[in-house]
Structure 1
Amino acid sequence: MDLVSIYQCLCDRTRLRILAALMDGPLCVCHLQEILEEPQVKVSKHLSYLREHGMVEAERQANWMIYRLPTKQPPQLRANLACLQDCVREDAAFKRDARRTMKIRAALSDAAPFCS
């Protein structure tokens, strides 16, 4: 993963919002839809783009696709994700997303950590 690929992924607000939501751990597509208040097709399109560029990893669990940040992150990605985490604290849309993310994560149980 090179720096240009990282910045190509980061130049879209929806993709930034997805990455910010995944910073605290994996989420199902349905949860990302709820957090972003966007249609499934739009969220899936952006997740596909991020996955193709190595910015997220996906795993199927039963009927659901679970997305997470890569377990092995090159230094350039780690640095840019840290910057993103610092930058989004003041943006209203990211603040709303963070509240929705916390609410969803609080509702998830150990028995059903993703979708039910």
Structure 2
Amino acid sequence: MSMPTPTEREQLAKAFKALSSPNRLAMYLDLLAQEETSVPHCCLGDLISRLEIGAPTVSHHIKELVNAGLIEVQRDGKFVRCRLNPVMRQRLAAFFANA
């Protein structure tokens, strides 16, 4: 098992901190489930309705997940589409595979 670099450890710590919130963890898991059904992204409105969380709260959590490098957002007109950051997903998978 190779030890993550200091930068990688900092990125992982930010990701773990972001995922320590039950709402953010639920959002991340929802996006993960969407990705596994071959849907590459999810609209904010879909998250709001599926998770029964208010729009301002979802927006706050999305910002935290983006800042932690866990997800990426893309604006498409009036829609905001979210998807998992594939680099961070791989980094997390490698971390847990070697833990």
Q: Could you say what secondary structure the match of 1:43 adopts? A: helix
Q: Could you say what secondary structure the match of 2:86 adopts? A: coil
RCO higher in 1 or 2 (8 Å CA, sep ≥ 6)? Answer: 1
Task: Determine the structure 1 residue equivalent to 2:92.
Answer: 77
1:47 Cα deviation from its structure 2 partner: 0.3
Scaled by the length of structure 2, the TM-score of the pair is: 0.72
Whether 1:29 and 2:38 are equivalent positions in the alignment is: no
- Detail structure 1 runs of 4+ shifted over 3 Å in the superposition: 79-82
Q: Percent identity?
A: 26
Aligned residues: 82
Unaligned residue ranges in structure 2 (runs of 5+): 1-7, 36-40
Q: Is the 8 A contact 2:48 2:55 kept in 1?
A: yes
CA-based RMSD: 2.2
The amino acid that maps onto 1:9 is: A
Provide the C-alpha distance between the structure 1 equivalents of 2:89 and 2:26, rounded to a whole number of angstroms.
20
Provide the C-alpha distance between the structure 2 equivalents of 1:36 and 1:79, rounded to a whole number of angstroms.
28
Unaligned residue ranges in structure 1 (runs of 5+): 83-116
